[in-house]
Structure 1
């Protein structure tokens, strides 16, 4: 699932950002004076003041918490006013592309890893290396997820990691013990799921079907030693890795260990709130660690967090610390110093940490995690503990995806549906997915 805490985010994909969409926004970059005159960040600013626009996607909870954070920042920085601009995930990227193309980009932008290169490579984001943003508390491998070959264009807000969220009540009702998550394999997980599905609990399946979810595929490929984008400039995804993943998931569906294809498609479209985990009808599912609070709340059931199964005993866990999202600054802001001050405050201020908690992911800075620990709900504290437990086994995070790759979730859902409904073989669908993804990247 998508690492955003917006409930419906997992069901939606990004529209690719084309060169045409950027053409108007990036034309005349050399004319610095002209760009400053029509940039969107500082409209209405007066001498000695800065008026910033700050955009993000998210749920009502995120909006409320961010509004509190803005007010706290303004109280400490009386020469800066901040206007929040927020929307749901589904319309966020079209809106941002439109404002960038119109030279009206917000000053501070909540950024996603699938869109970072699309904006950075085309000059829409400020290189943060020379700003006053203090990134010293962010681990270097995490900070590098915001870099491209040309500079640092995004500061990670927090980190996430793949996790299997298990419903202990469904395990207990089935008379099945929770597995040893340090040694179990995918085959053992499928066997456990089948026992739960056959336990007589109405509408309950052991696995939530994964064949439509790009994040689960990403984990599987990482465990096999593969990668989606190599050095971040081309598609290096091996169709054989994708095919083996669909073969596994198709097998769980056909055996009854996972929900049937029709139900899987409905749940994917319905987002987090309609998932098998949230509705108490799937005993296990792959999620991102910071989603456990929303899942527990929706299900009315405390969950158990397990490390994902292995390909084989002693195999690579494949898990990595993924930046949950980023802060970026428009290259056209009229107030780069004030914008950097806001990002620095969001990144380093104890007050910001205490307001936002884990809403945008688990803080990458151990000191911030320790600071907010006493303030967390039990499920949030559980996700923090889980992420920290992976420190000795995580592999390096993959590079930011190239422009055009933001279509990947849509492709996985579309071709995955073909496989689960038996309209294409796993191998044929895998080859078609990789070819289309490469075409999208090449033509972006």
Structure 2
């Protein structure tokens, strides 16, 4: 299923969401069943549809009308539907946006259903807390995950380079990149994609420096000096042929996985998430694995954290909230559903569910489970949820500036200062 929305349409959708919150959304549309919307690819969709069939056949269950889009197209579409008061009953929600959607009433608090339609016995407490806004539960975590580096093992073997491991630094990446250049495999494949526009990679790099992307009170946790250093790092990688070219990176639309640098064969590794290994492996014949993001220096850790990979929330305008809560309960508790889902959305948050699926995991699933469970000194605390404007800063500022630097339209210094000035202004307007 495909939908393309341009930047103007995205901004219109975001504005409409704000307007709906200010003036009251349109009517809730009662349905005989449930309507569900999520981001992801076909592999995720197949698993979700399998669980939906189980739910429909369960006692008190109902039919679920489900649809999906890639990440980049998902949020404009969701904003538009929410603004019109016709949000899906079941909404896949991200940690980045849960505060914004909760504060605008676009998703509903679930506390009244806990212990009734929504059973959360034995749920990991940190994952439960991750779905709360101002003390109320707005999202049920579908799994724990961590950011990760996707690695094409076959490409590294072909280049005669040892693949990255948990001790790999950014300096090591440079050395690997030089070796890839010398090997000149697959028409000039680079060792890594351009991570300058990756918010999770920037966040990880900042955390290793003892800084934060955002503070608990919704402000930037770093300054222009760090942002300039970040753009300069990737400018050097790009200029020296360590990471992919600006033209190649522009092919990644931040939507379908098919447009990413590893799937296109442009790079041997790229930033990803632990739960995405399963989906990427279905698209690539080469053997893939995951490892941590590079360390900024030997022995420096703390950049990673275990976060809710995503949530299911209930639409604020839904006329079927209790039934939707029942579905959420089924999705995270039912053992047959768990066998279908595996760890594609992250490591299950209930111990009995983890124990049930562990013996049945395939190689990629087991890698993801082991990675999240064994982060060791790489692991730091879960940061507070990003402020409501974080999505705008990521999409309209970080990614735009990273491309402008990559194509030579701005210097790293200019982009670093501009980012901090504009991001601060966006946060102040939002506040």
Instruction: Give CA-to-partner distance per residue, 1:194-231, whole Å, 9 cap, x none.
Output: 12222232312222221222222122122222222211
Equivalent pair of 2:405/2:412 in contact (CA under 8 Å): yes
Aligned-partner SS, 2:92: strand
1:14/1:390 CA distance change after superposition, 3 Å:
farther
Residue 183 (structure 1) aligned to one of 153, 163, 167: 167
Pair 1:288 & 2:284 matched? no
Aligned-partner SS, 1:285: strand
Question: 1:3 is matched with which residue?
Answer: none
Question: 1:266 is matched with which residue?
Answer: 251
- Once residues 156 and 3 of structure 2 are traced to their aligned partners in structure 1, the CA distance between those partners, rounded to angstroms, is 27
Question: 1:421 is matched with which residue?
Answer: 407
Residue 68 (structure 1) aligned to one of 41, 44, 50: 50
Offset at 1:263? 1.9
Aligned-partner SS, 2:387: coil
Aligned-partner SS, 1:298: coil
RMSD: 3.0
- Once residues 403 and 85 of structure 1 are traced to their aligned partners in structure 2, the CA distance between those partners, rounded to angstroms, is 25
Pair 1:352 & 2:337 matched? yes
Question: 2:94 is matched with which residue?
Answer: 112
**TM-score with structure 2 setting the length:** 0.87
Instruction: Give CA-to-partner distance per residue, 1:401-436, whole Å, 9 cap, x none.
Output: 222221213422210112222332223212212332
Pair 1:326 & 2:321 matched? no
- Once residues 270 and 220 of structure 1 are traced to their aligned partners in structure 2, the CA distance between those partners, rounded to angstroms, is 24
- Once residues 343 and 401 of structure 1 are traced to their aligned partners in structure 2, the CA distance between those partners, rounded to angstroms, is 24
Pair 1:442 & 2:424 matched? no
Aligned-partner SS, 2:191: strand
Pair 1:246 & 2:241 matched? no
Name segments (4+ residues, structure 1) moved above 4 Å: 6-9, 11-14, 16-20, 268-271
- Once residues 24 and 168 of structure 1 are traced to their aligned partners in structure 2, the CA distance between those partners, rounded to angstroms, is 48
Question: 1:39 is matched with which residue?
Answer: 28
- Once residues 19 and 166 of structure 2 are traced to their aligned partners in structure 1, the CA distance between those partners, rounded to angstroms, is 50
Equivalent pair of 2:31/2:320 in contact (CA under 8 Å): no
Question: 2:220 is matched with which residue?
Answer: 235
Instruction: Give CA-to-partner distance per residue, 1:68-119, whole Å, 9 cap, x none.
Output: 2122112223364433344444443333333333333322211122321221
- Once residues 250 and 173 of structure 2 are traced to their aligned partners in structure 1, the CA distance between those partners, rounded to angstroms, is 22
1:378/1:333 CA distance change after superposition, 3 Å:
same
Larger CA deviation: 412-421 vs 129-138: 129-138
Equivalent pair of 2:141/2:311 in contact (CA under 8 Å): yes
Question: 1:47 is matched with which residue?
Answer: none
1:27/1:331 CA distance change after superposition, 3 Å:
same
Equivalent pair of 1:223/1:315 in contact (CA under 8 Å): yes
- Once residues 12 and 130 of structure 1 are traced to their aligned partners in structure 2, the CA distance between those partners, rounded to angstroms, is 38
- Once residues 103 and 147 of structure 1 are traced to their aligned partners in structure 2, the CA distance between those partners, rounded to angstroms, is 23
Aligned-partner SS, 1:413: helix
Pair 1:23 & 2:19 matched? yes
1:14/1:149 CA distance change after superposition, 3 Å:
farther
Equivalent pair of 2:14/2:80 in contact (CA under 8 Å): no
Offset at 1:440? 3.0
Aligned-partner SS, 1:53: strand
Question: 5+ unaligned residues in a row in structure 2: which ranges?
Answer: none
Question: 2:111 is matched with which residue?
Answer: 129
Offset at 1:193? 1.9
Offset at 1:186? 1.2
Larger CA deviation: 226-235 vs 340-349: 226-235
1:142/1:197 CA distance change after superposition, 3 Å:
farther
- Once residues 8 and 123 of structure 2 are traced to their aligned partners in structure 1, the CA distance between those partners, rounded to angstroms, is 29
Instruction: Give CA-to-partner distance per residue, 1:209-258, whole Å, 9 cap, x none.
Output: 21222222122122222222211533334332222222111111112222
Equivalent pair of 1:166/1:284 in contact (CA under 8 Å): yes
Question: 1:192 is matched with which residue?
Answer: 176
